[in-house]
Amino acid sequence: MIDVEDLIALVRNYNPRCNAELIRQAYAYGMKMHEGQFRKSGEPYFTHPVAVAAILTEQHLDDATIITALLHDTIEDTKSTYSEVARLFGNEVAELVDGVTKLTNLQLSSTHTQQAENFRKLFMAMSKDLRVILVKLADRLHNMRTIKSMKPEKQAQKARETMEIFAPLAGRMGMQWMREELEDLSFKVLNPEARNSIMRRFLLLQRESGDVVHKITADIRLELDKVQIEASVYGRAKKPYSIWRKMQEKDLAFSRLSDIYGFRVICGSVADCYRILGVIHQRWRAVPGRFKDYISQPKTNGYRSIHTTVSGRDGKRVEVQIRTREMHEVAEAGVAAHWSYREGVRAKNPFAVDPAKWIATLTERFDEGDHDEFLENVKLEMYSDQVFCFTPKGDVVQLPRGATPLDFAYAIHTRIGNSTVSAKIDGIRVPLWTRLKNGQSVEIITAEGQRPQASWVDIVTTGRAKAAIRRSLREEDRGRFVRLGQELARAAFEHVGKKATEKALRTAAKMLGVPDEAELLARLGSAELTARKVVETLYPELTLSVTDEVEPARPVLGLPDDQSVRRAPCCQPLPGERIVGITYRGQGVVVHAIDCPALEEFEEQPNRWVDLHWHAGRHKAVNTVSLELTISNDAGVLGRICTLIGEQKANISDLRFTERKPDFYRLIVDVDLRDVEHLHMVMTALEAETDVAQVSRHRDKTRRP
């Protein structure tokens, strides 16, 4: 644990005039309040608040924020009170500690109504003082760094919450380094196999091509020296999660992914930024469509930089970011730059965004709609990258990347969006589904009597537009939708031998988080919900039983009838997972999961790859999957686990112990399953069992077809 004098030294590095005595008092008070409390790892609990404070010193934050970090769990977890903290450390610190306490109590990963309400509270707390969320983000970062000591199910819950809420929020606040680390730590918990696969491929790539980062950095420095521009050049490989996300979005194998390296050039002036851009584009070929100028059009969180992607050494694509030193400080700290100190005075960085204005831009479009619409707005706003377009009068409208003229119309006013008939971009009439680009001028043409069409929901990108269109569609023709929904529900319920009674529909509405049965029917009629989803919610097993069964001998589509096919033993793919076939001479086609490491050896043999898909329908439980379990060494535990698996209608085909210890056993259980949903049901049931310490899918790379 960092002692108090070391912590004060970290603060003095950027703020020599800090109130060292007050920090000492807060350190001593926090240690006393948390005395006797321990973390899951066995460490004294106070190591956590100190680590959070240390993370915040990296952002050069003010004394009040550092002291809040030291005390952030005192009101929540000790006998300390708001009034005592206010008396000892002042009202500013007490308000911040109270704000962090309230955020800690919000169950942000809960669902529907409660989650929407908690998001509102989150943004209210942020609007009072943004430093509250800075402390909370540092708190979450340290918890994710030390998550190994928690139970597996708790790790998964925290990782999902971090991936869905805290990581994008850090990105929206301009703290990209924190977003990347939070995403990667979550990825490590949620999909360790995929992350390890990417790390292994990285090492292989480095062995084959050497230190690419060092070579390209030297190339850029050489070009800048030729024209006598002073600048610092830094390069790095992108984080595993960032690479994984690109692979998923572009549906590419690792070997076909090009821009996995990123470089930064940091210089002294804006003029130098554009000169450096010219030098790089003269030396290397620019990749079309990958240039972004955030200096002339900054992001709403204050971020400024030039981004370009070029074909560098050996044809490898690399992303280059060019910015001044002041821009770099904001890029690292984001909105937090507003409170940062340098040499004892508040930093007056001209590019740092005023937090009050920033929070206003984040929340200005959140109408008082229903809960689902509010959540959709929040999440779209948090994840979005921005484009800036102009009205005919020259006003700037900010929209998420991928937005259309319809989004533009709804951003101006719901009434204009509802009555839109066509649009012009830079004076030329375009379809309403056209994707907007930075700097375009957009003119919306409206007509009296025009109403939104159902197809518009798929055209728009913003939560505001989607919510307005759905609301208008429901209000305009609700009666027709209800009648249609009744007919759809009747047919779907009869298909499983049930009746769509008011009580059944009311129960389904409650389970799906819909206000009442009338609203459920309206959403059925407007195709926002499927009748199958409603029936599955009430009668999951009945729904499965009536689905057409798939012949086990022909589980996949894409092969001639006489072609033999079998599942690869190395990755054991299941129906529902993305797959690919590999032809083997004399063995037919072997089906592999798309992320199977064994596919690497076939990357240079494209003629052996076969595009395959699973047959739609109900597969029989004949697909063996190996599960690795760590269980307590107690009487009856193994029997309960076997019973649990049986209750999920899964058969155990083999069981072998890999490790026997006095307090635990490690074993591999082979289970026969239908599909990936069946696997999820089995693993969820096992994870909920108290005596199961860990459960994961076991894939044996040594087992080859």
Identify whether the C-beta of residue 307 lies closer than 8 Å to the C-beta of residue 317.
no
Amino acid at 405: P
CA–CA separation, 670 and 654 (whole Å): 5
- Of 77, 117, 164, 184, the active-site residue reads 77
The pTM assigned to this predicted structure is: 0.56
Q: What is the pLDDT of residues 116-129, one digit of tens each?
A: 555 666 666 666 77
User: pLDDT-derived band of residue 208, with 50, 70 and 90 as boundaries?
Assistant: low
Residue 309 near residue 319, CB atoms below 8 Å? yes
C-alpha torsion sign, points 188, 189, 191, 197 = positive
* Mean pLDDT confidence for 195-203: 81
- pLDDT bucket at 477, cuts 50 / 70 / 90: low
Tell me the average pLDDT across 682-705.
80
- What are the tens digits of pLDDT across the range 353-398? 777 777 766 655 444 444 455 555 555 555 555 677 888 887 778 7
pLDDT for 253? 60
Flag the least confident range among 142-151, 328-337, 471-480.
Answer: 471-480
At residue 691, the pLDDT reads 79
147/127 Cα distance (integer angstroms) = 29
- Among 3.40.50.2300, 1.10.760.10, 1.10.3210.10, 3.40.50.150, name the CATH number for the domain at 4-189: 1.10.3210.10
Q: What is the pLDDT of residue 333?
A: 84
For residues 151-165, average pLDDT: 87
Distance CA 11, CA 61 (A): 8
Catalytic residue selected from 43, 76, 628, 677 = 76
Q: Which CATH class is domain 193-346?
A: alpha beta
Structure confidence at residue 382 (pLDDT): 53
Three-state SS at 148: helix
Catalytic, 368? Answer no
DSSP 69: H
The DSSP 8-state label assigned to residue 59 in this structure reads T
pLDDT for the residue numbered 546: 46
Q: Helix 20-33 vs helix 63-71: angle between axes, to the nearest 10 degrees?
A: 10
Mean pLDDT value across residues 544-552: 64
Q: What percent of the chain clears pLDDT 90, i.e. is strictly above it?
A: 29
For residue 249, what is the enclosing H or E element? helix 240-250
Give the model confidence (pLDDT) of 42-52 as tens digits.
899 999 999 99
pLDDT of residue 498: 81
pLDDT at 115: 55
Longest dimension (CA), the chain: 83
Q: Are 631 and 665 in contact (CB under 8 A)?
A: yes
Which has the minimum average pLDDT: 90-94, 205-209, 658-662? 205-209
Q: Rounded to whole angstroms, how far apart are CA atoms 407 and 414?
A: 10
List the one residue out of 357, 360, 378 whose CA is nearest residue 369: 378
Residues in a beta bridge with 588 = 584
> What pLDDT is recorded for position 116?
58
The arithmetic mean of pLDDT across residues 30-51, rounded, is 91
Q: What are phi and psi of 338, to 5 degrees?
A: -60, -30
Chain centroid to CA 704? 34
- Residue 153, token pair as written in the block: 């199910």
Q: Which helix (H) or strand (E) holds 425?
A: strand 420-425
Alpha-carbon distance 470 to 479, whole Å?
15
Give the mean pLDDT of 230-251: 80
Helix (H, G, I), strand (E, B) or coil at 121: helix
pLDDT, tens only, 420-453: 999 999 888 888 889 888 778 899 999 888 888 8
C-beta separation of 534 from 504 below 8 A: no
Q: Residue 48: in which H helix or E strand, if any?
A: helix 47-57
pLDDT for position 85: 92
The predicted structure's pLDDT at residue 405: 94
pLDDT digits (tens, 9 = 90+) for 270-327: 999 999 999 999 998 888 777 888 898 888 778 899 999 888 666 677 889 999 999 9
Q: Are strands 613-614 and 651-660 parallel, antiparallel or unpaired?
A: unpaired
Predicted local distance difference test score (pLDDT) of residue 211: 73
End-to-end CA gap in the chain: 51
Q: How confident is the model at residue 254 (pLDDT cuts 50, 70, 90)?
A: low
- Domain 4-189 and domain 623-697, same fold? Reply is no
Closest by alpha carbon to 457, among 444, 447, 470? 470
pLDDT averaged over every residue in the chain: 83
Class of domain 623-697: alpha beta
* CATH topology classification for 359-474: Ubiquitin-like (UB roll) (3.10.20)
Distance CA 534, CA 513 (A): 12
Q: Which helix (H) or strand (E) holds 610?
A: strand 609-610
Q: Any idea of the CA torsion for 231, 237, 239, 243, to the nearest 10 degrees?
A: 120
Give, for 293, the enclosing helix (H) or strand (E): strand 292-293
Q: Catalytic residue at 76?
A: yes
What pLDDT does 118 receive? 59
**89 pLDDT higher than 90:** yes
Angle at CA of residue 275, ends 274 and 280, nearest 5°: 95
Measure the CA angle with vertex 639, ends 633 and 644; round to 5°. Answer: 115
Q: With bands split at pLDDT 50, 70 and 90, how would you rate the model's confidence at 172?
A: confident
pLDDT value of position 138: 94
Judge contact between 566 and 667, C-beta under 8 A.
Answer: no
Domain ranges, ordered by start, for the chain: 4-189, 193-346, 359-474, 477-546, 556-614, 623-697
Tens digit of each residue's pLDDT (9 = 90 or more) over 557-599: 888 877 888 899 999 999 878 889 999 887 789 999 888 888 8
- Checking if the pLDDT of 667 tops 70, the result is yes
How many whole angstroms separate alpha carbon 71 and alpha carbon 97? Answer: 7
Higher pLDDT, 7 or 687: 7
In 3D, which of 150, 227, 145 has the Cα closest to residue 186? 145
Q: Residue 401 in 3-state DSSP?
A: coil
